Amino acid sequence: MQNPAQTPSPVQRLLSLDVVRGITIAFMIMVNNNGGPGSWHFMNHAVWNGLTPTDLVFPTFVFVVGVSVVFAFEARLARGATRAELARHTVQRAAVLVLLGIVVNSFPLFELPHMRFYGVLQRIAVCYLVVGLFYLWDQRAWTKVAALAVSLVGYWVLVRWVPIPGVGLPGRDVPFMDMTQNLVSWIDRHVFPYHLYLNAPDHNVRDPEGLLSDLPAIGTALMGILAGLWLRTQKTIAEKTAGLAGAAIVSLALGYLWSLEFPLNKNMWTSSFVLVAGGYSLLLLTLCYWAVEQKGWRKGWTYVWIVFGSNAIGAYMFSELLPSALWNIHLVSNGKHETGITYIFAHVFAHIPNPGWAAFSYSVTFTAVCFIPVWILYRKKIFLKV
């Protein structure tokens, strides 16, 4: 006989998850358009090893994808969809996300010789595809825990103990976690030479969303799956909140401990980074779940985040295509050639004396501009589905 406490609860939309998604996509837009060199430290990624709040944005979105898979798939299954139909849609959606990612990377020139094939949407597509199909095949929590352990430990073994062809063993022949001489970058340079994030016609370096680092990124999505499974049990709301908080503390402790051996690194998406970033993602979900579901604080403050979260991919694409368009607008001001972005910054935000506040004002204003199209879609009840 099944334990009633482990029986999944009826499928219903989780408002707190929409709020988390909205906060994440809004902050992602802000840090991706942070106002340039004058921006504060926390609005920039760590150069290599280390962690800033900016480094937490992308993994939080991947984590939310995992949570969303549980609720979205169960809702469709409850409406009569078959697992085969969901699997087909999962593959199709992943393929569309990859194509959209290439468009974002290449707009507006689409130069094939150095077109970047990796990217943010591409990584989301890979994680969504793998955990989505895995969840359709098996809904048990322990298999997700096992897969998470395999992905994180397996990645550490590959990066730490597998010799880099032509270079040698990390930690002996080359520094462990060297910025360019590591297995992750070596694979990317051979899979997509001269199509990487850090590349130029005369050199070929690395990509922060490369092939091998998809393995631990899938682990991030699996943590989201586990959170989603927990939230669908018949535990009380208070018990679910406590469980999320406990999981966050354990994940943070394990991640920071592991970072003593395997440093926190968003570029390589290290296993310790997965646990630490996942811990902070769980903390954010805990706070929003406590506020919205447990305390019932649903009015007012949630509106902006729900609007952003309702069309998250659309908001992200608009925020990436708009700067590309502005960079390709050329203006002449006082005899000096400027792009659209540099012109706007120089004639509006540069008048703010403090560089940090000038950059932050630009970032907030840009995010507000990106809010407008998703707000119009929300008002018209149009929700873009991939």
pLDDT confidence of residue 108: 82
Question: Cβ(95)–Cβ(33) under 8 Å?
Answer: no
- Under DSSP, the state recorded for 382 is -
Nearest to 117 by CA among 101, 97, 130: 101
Q: Residue 383: which residues within 8 A CB-CB, separation 6 or more?
A: 310, 311, 377
- Under DSSP, the state recorded for 251 is H
Q: What is the dihedral of CA 307, 313, 315, 317, to 10 degrees?
A: -170
Task: Return the H-helix or E-strand segment holding 198.
Answer: strand 198-200
Is residue 6 helix, strand or coil? helix
DSSP per-residue letters across 269-337: T-HHHHHHHHHHHHHHHHHHHIIIIIS---SSTTHHHHHHHHTHHHHHHHHHHHHHHHHT-EEEETTEE
Name the amino acid, one letter, at 300. Answer: G
Label residue 247 exposed, middle or buried (CB < 10 Å: 0-12, 13-18, 19+): buried
Rounded CA separation 8/300 (Å): 30
Question: Cβ(73)–Cβ(132) under 8 Å?
Answer: yes
Task: Return the H-helix or E-strand segment holding 357.
Answer: helix 355-379
Rounded CA separation 317/377 (Å): 14
DSSP per-residue letters across 214-248: HHHHHHHHHHHHHHHHHHTSS--HHHHHHHHHHHH
- Looking up tokens 């984590």 gives 63
- Helix residue ranges, H only, 14-168: 15-32, 57-78, 83-106, 120-137, 141-161
- Looking up tokens 């990377």 gives 105
What does the block give as tokens for 165? 């062809």
How many CB atoms within 10 Å of residue 12?
A: 10
Which residues in 266-287 are b (16+ Cβ under 10 Å) and which e? bbbbbbbbbbbbbbbbbbbbbb
In angstroms, what is the C-alpha Rg of the chain?
21
Overall size of the chain counted in residues: 386
Rounded CA separation 265/216 (Å): 12
- Looking up tokens 């462990």 gives 176
Rounded CA separation 333/15 (Å): 48
Rounded CA separation 179/185 (Å): 9
> In a structure prediction context, what are the per-residue pLDDT tens digits for the chain, which is 386 residues long?
344 444 455 556 789 999 999 999 999 999 999 999 999 999 999 999 999 999 999 999 999 999 999 999 999 999 999 999 999 999 999 999 999 999 999 888 888 888 899 999 999 999 999 999 999 999 999 999 999 999 999 999 999 999 999 999 999 999 999 998 999 999 999 999 888 887 656 567 889 999 999 999 999 999 999 999 999 999 999 999 999 999 999 999 999 999 999 999 999 999 999 999 999 999 999 999 999 999 999 988 999 999 999 999 999 999 999 998 988 888 877 777 888 888 899 889 999 999 999 999 999 999 999 999 999 999 999 888 76
Is residue 79 helix, strand or coil? coil
Rounded CA separation 311/289 (Å): 20
Question: Cβ(203)–Cβ(231) under 8 Å?
Answer: no
